[in-house]
Amino acid sequence: QITTNLDINNSNIYEIPKAALKSAATPKNSSEPLIFTWYPKPYNAEVYLFMHFAEIQTLEANETREFDVILKGNFNYSALNPPKLELFILYTDTPMKCDSGGCNLQLVRTPNSTLPPLINAFEAFSVIQFPQLETNLSDVAAIKNIKATYSLSKISWQGDPCLPQDFSWENLNCTYVDTSTPPRIISLNLSASGLTGTIAPSLQNLTQIQELDLSNNSLTGPVPAFLAKMKSLSLINLSGNNLSGSVPQSLLDREKQGLVLLHLDGNPKLCRFSSCDPKEKKGFLLVPVIASVASVLVLVVIIALFLIFRKKKVPSVTPPNVPVEDVGHSKQPEPSSFLSKKIRFTYFEVQEMTNNFQRVLGEGGFGIVYHGCVRGTQQVAVKLLSQSSSQGYKHFKAEVELLMRVHHINLVSLVGYCNEGDHLALIYEYMPNGDLKQHLSGKRGGFVLSWESRLRIAVDAALGLEYLHTGCKPPIVHRDIKSTNILVDERFQAKLADFGLSRSFPNGIETYVSTVVAGTPGYLDPEYYQTNWLTEKSDIYSFGIVLLEIITDRRIIDQSREKPHIVEWVELSIGKGDIGNIIDPKLHRDYDTGSVWKATELAMSCVNLASAKRPSMSQVVSDLKDCLISENSRTGESREMNSLSSIEFSMDVDTEMIPKAR
């Protein structure tokens, strides 16, 4: 390998990394060819190849570097002289297959050359066939217009919004019927995305969308009437903006009919009535209105005095100095103060959807979870509150209040609830692939989660928690982050669940004094346990414990170990300097070591005893994505490389300073 400190003139619009161009590979023996062998993945796939050449040495007058580029006999580019400090690119114009599924590229020195061949960099791209039709064109046009309207710069928003299915755009979901039916966009979550201006008219062109979340932005102007005409919409979240004017009556009518769940709180200038402008009232109405109000006030005062007089005769059944919400749930308040009636089910409907509570999914501290089916089509999980749970109603109320105002692709969504007499139930979306703990322990089919899959689950869960901390106004602390509260859907996308212990912080307040420490032993932040001061960093400690579970697949507390707690055990193992002592042995070293070390360092920073030294969730998300990129680089390239001189491709080559297509 040879190197230079000088910059290479690179007019390529794809900006090949400077560091890659400042070095070049040459054969160890200058008289031998430089050979690359590469096996396409999937096997026998068609490939495109891009090769980058630049002379980075100063040649003497009697020195020449000249070589032929040969692809296993079916391609020959003769007498290539790399330009000095200038990028020269050879690339395939059409995809080709190599013999027996393998490609062999040779750089062979010509008789006129005094120096061996070199190459600065090369890229090989396998052609992957997708039988699925591309996303519905009207949906594509609509989402691109929305992207342009709000100047969104999301990295993943490139190419087809829904395809490939594993790489669909972030913050939206699509429906996939079959390969002959174009996918459709069915949900869009742009919460806390820095949106400004009015609600984009292009949204109405997403004709199959079911859920729209534009909450916690800086949108202004009125609520558009076209939202009422979007018949597929069942959820609209516009809370936490600066919208103004009256909500269209047609939209309110759909809400009353239970056809759409509407979230409008946090818009002080927005009104749910047909007219919100007091200036429309005529002057001559002022006197009669004042007289009427005065009469009503007198009547209210008389009734209030009567009730106060009677109340003094009734002894209180609540101990003094105890907040009403702490008395338990034997006397439940009316639901109208905190629950929307639009997603409320009767107890009979709950019995019906669960087939009389036939299939149990699991059991928690507040009750049993059953499998159910709403209207015979939508699978759900029904958490039925146990009558013996003294704190149950408080957690039930907290969870419904939270889930009705937060919506994120990595948070389990609330389908509905039941509050009828002594019967309390929460109905969630069904997560068919269980929880993270089950997958780590092998209880879900016995297969071993790959390191890449573990990182993807960690990133998903981190994104959900980041949204609670930074995307909600006020911020929300989950308080019970653990591997059993990270659920996995049919696409193996992870979502946070169980918000019964969650707490919101008032605006401007970053800590909360908790009179009762809540959480799960082993995951509980020691600083929170000792001081009762609850902060977002308490969640980050718990998330760090989950990361250690993902890395090690060890029990959080194991008295048989020299160091019972997983944090202490990992600290001891790190001192030995071998990542194999820490990471789950079932992975059989099938992982990028750098990625594992980075994840381990991140986990240990999350569980720092001093909360101030723990990273933010935004930093956790960023670091985990870096870990995933490192692992993907290994699985996408390193497995196919035999040596520095051995890689593979297939081609018909044209020459230009810039490739035509990539």
Closest CA to 464 of 497, 437, 440: 497
Q: Measured between alpha carbons, how far is 83 from 106 in angstroms, rounded to an integer?
A: 19
Closest CA to 553 of 652, 656, 418, 450: 450
Asked if 469 and 616 touch (Cβ cutoff 8 Å), the reply is yes
Pairing of strands 172-175, 184-189: antiparallel
Indicate the helix (H) or strand (E) that contains 216.
Answer: none
CA dihedral of residues 207, 212, 217, 218 (deg, nearest 10): 40
Please confirm, yes or no, whether 480 is among the known catalytic residues: yes
- Provide the residue type at 528 as one letter: Y
Q: Measured between alpha carbons, how far is 491 from 165 in angstroms, rounded to an integer?
A: 9
In angstroms, how far is CA 68 from the centroid of its own chain?
48
Give 92's strand partners.
Answer: 653
Asked if omega into 164 is within 30° of 0 (cis), the reply is: yes
323: Cβ contacts below 8 Å, ≥ 6 apart: none
CA dist 475 → 295, 469, 478 (Å): 44, 5, 10
Q: Measured between alpha carbons, how far is 262 from 247 in angstroms, rounded to an integer?
A: 11
Give 643's strand partners.
Answer: 646
Asked if 172 and 185 touch (Cβ cutoff 8 Å), the reply is yes
Question: Which segments of 412-562 does DSSP mark as H helices, in order?
Answer: 436-441, 451-466, 526-531, 536-552
User: Would you give the end-to-end CA distance of the chain in angstroms?
Assistant: 27
Q: Please identify which of the residues 435, 480, 498, 584 carries the catalytic annotation.
A: 480
Asked if 201 and 222 touch (Cβ cutoff 8 Å), the reply is no
Q: Binding site annotation covers 383?
A: yes
- Provide the residue type at 215 as one letter: S
- What is the phi-psi region of residue 576: left when phi exceeds 0, alpha when psi lies from -120 to 50, beta otherwise? alpha
If you compute the radius of gyration of the chain from its CA atoms, what whole number of angstroms results? 31
Supply the DSSP symbol for 158: -
Q: Measured between alpha carbons, how far is 563 from 548 in angstroms, rounded to an integer?
A: 14
Residues marked as catalytic? 480
Annotated binding-site members: 383
Annotated binding-site members for ATP: 383
